[in-house]
Amino acid sequence: MISLGTHGLCSAAKNDIFLAFKRLAKMLENEKSSKIVSIRSDHGGEFQNERFEHFCEKHGIKHNFSAPRTLQQNGVVERKKRSLEELARTMLNENSLPKYFWADVVNTACYVLNRVLIRPILKKTPYELFKGRRLVLSHLKLFGCKCFILNNGKESLCKFDAKAYEGIFLGYTTQVMYIESIIRY
């Protein structure tokens, strides 16, 4: 079943996309116990190269390309990308965060969108379609809010030292259930 869920692949350079895709493909195959049948991309150099073609051939993945300079053929992806960019811009500006947190913001936007957007026909979220279980939203926090990071013994504390550092909530990670944050001194 197609969930149209979003997975953010943030990288510093376009030549890192291949390794990020390999990790994502392996993660999806392990989690769902099924193979990726096809992917669709534009003619960007990060997708149209020998390493990518060899990987797709080796794993039986059909790699479709859209026609050059026709964003309409990748409509769903282009709209999703634009939505994520607008959400990230808004979240960064609303919380007065520096632009170098863009990857954290985009990943947080993906995380939330996968849990709140309802597929109208099925009346389920992309998360519910992908995971096959009910969704719990009680752990969601307001992006950019104040949070406290517990000092769990990494630094020795004196009797009256603070047991936690003040930080800013930056988002979630899907590998383990913890909240990412930055520390403000």
> Using CB atoms within 10 A of its CB, is residue 180 exposed (0-12), middle (13-18) or buried (19+)?
middle
Q: Is residue 10 part of a domain?
A: no
Q: Is residue 158 part of a domain?
A: yes
> How far, in Å, CA of 108 to CA of 120, rounded?
23
Could you tell me if 177 and 159 are in contact, meaning their C-beta atoms sit under 8 angstroms apart? no
Structure confidence by residue, pLDDT tens digits, 143-163: 888 888 887 766 677 778 788
Binned at pLDDT 50, 70 and 90, residue 90 comes out as very high
Q: Is residue 56 part of a domain?
A: no
User: pTM of the full predicted structure?
Assistant: 0.71
Q: Is residue 175 part of a domain?
A: yes
Q: Is residue 93 part of a domain?
A: no
Q: Is residue 99 part of a domain?
A: no
Q: Is residue 183 part of a domain?
A: yes
Q: Is residue 53 part of a domain?
A: no
Number of domains in the chain: 1
Structural domain of residue 175, as residue ranges? 141-185
Structure confidence by residue, pLDDT tens digits, 101-114: 888 888 888 888 88
Structure confidence by residue, pLDDT tens digits, 70-89: 766 667 777 888 888 898 89
